[in-house]
C-alpha cells in the first residue's frame, strides 16, 4: 500500500530546538504538527506530568496514523529519546505506506539549559541536574539508524550538531 503520506520525526532533548524547527517545516510543507506541550497547556496539565504526556502522545499517534493513511504530512516533535520509540514510529508509518524522515537536533548541555531558562515555559523550571541526567539517558541516533529513514524533503536550517 503506498500513500503519499510522510512522517517527520523531530528528535532531541528539551531546548534542542524541536518546536522551532517543527514550526518552520509545518509552514513550508503544509504539515500537521503534533506537540504534546501545546495540548497539555491547552488542557491545563503541568508539563512535568509524564503519565499525562504519555496519554497525549498516544492520542496524537492515533490521529497521526489516520492522517498518514490519508496521504498527509505529519510532524511529531515529542523528543523520542529512545531508539525503540523511533523504531516503532518508523515501522508504523511505513506500514501505512508513508515515508519517514528523522531530524536530530543537539546542542551542548549548558546551551540547552540556558535556552530553557530563557524560555521559562516549565513550572517549576527544569533543573540543571535533571537535564544533565537526561543527556546521559538520551539515545542519540547513530548513522546506522539515520540510514533507515528516507531523505528529508528539507534540510535542517540551523543545527550546530
Ligand atoms: N538553533 C537555535 N539557536 C538558538 N536558540 C534556539 C535555537 N533553536 C531554538 N532556540 C530557542 O531555544 C528555546 C528552545 O527551543 P524549542 O522550544 O524549539 O526547543 P524544544 O526542543 O522544542 O524544547 P522542548 O523539548 O522543551 O519542547 C526557544 O526559546 C527557541 O527560541
Ligand atoms: Mg518543544
Tell me the average confidence (pLDDT) per consecutive run of 10 residues in the chain, 161 residues long: 86 97 96 98 97 98 98 97 98 98 97 96 95 97 98 77 42
Question: Which of 13, 14, 15, 121, when mutated, tests ligand 1's pocket best, judged by the most ligand atoms within 8 Å of its CB?
Answer: 15
Nearest ligand for residue 122 CA: 1
CA 18 to ligand 1 center in whole angstroms: 6
pTM of the model: 0.95
Domain 6-146 CATH (choose: 3.90.1150.10, 3.60.20.10, 3.40.50.300, 3.30.70.20): 3.40.50.300
3-class DSSP state for residue 47? coil
3-class DSSP state for residue 6? strand
Q: Give CA–CA dist 79/138, Å, rounded.
A: 9
pLDDT at residue 147 in the model:
98
CA 40 to ligand 1 center in whole angstroms: 18
Question: Which of 20, 34, 81, when mutated, tests ligand 1's pocket best, judged by the most ligand atoms within 8 Å of its CB?
Answer: 20
N-to-C CA span, the chain: 36
User: Does residue 36 line the site of ligand 1, with CB under 6 A?
Assistant: no
Amino acid at each position: 500500500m503506498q500513500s503519499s503520506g510522510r512522517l517527520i520525526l523531530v528528535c532531541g532533548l528539551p531546548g534542542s530546538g524541536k518546536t522551532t524547527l517543527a514550526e518552520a517545516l509545518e509552514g513550508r510543507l503544509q504539515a500537521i504538527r503534533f506537540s504534546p506541550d501545546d495540548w497539555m497547556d491547552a488542557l491545563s496539565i503541568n508539563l512535568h506530568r509524564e503519565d499525562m504526556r504519555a496519554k497525549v502522545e498516544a492520542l496524537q499517534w492515533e490521529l497521526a496514523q489516520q492522517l498518514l493513511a490519508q496521504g498527509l504530512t505529519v510532524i511529531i516533535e515529542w523528543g523520542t529519546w529512545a531508539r525503540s520509540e523511533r523504531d516503532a514510529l518508523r515501522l508504523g508509518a511505513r506500514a501505512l505506506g508513508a515515508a519517514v524522515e528523522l531530524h536530530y537536533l543537539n546542542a551542548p548541555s549548558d546551551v540547552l539549559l540556558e535556552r530553557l531558562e530563557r524560555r521559562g515555559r516549565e513550572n517549576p523550571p527544569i533543573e540543571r541536574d535533571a537535564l544533565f541526567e537526561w543527556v546521559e539517558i538520551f539515545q542519540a541516533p547513530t548513522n546506522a539508524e539515520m540510514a533507515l529513514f528516507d531523505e528529508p524533503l528539507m534540510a535542517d536550517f540551523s543545527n550546530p550538531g
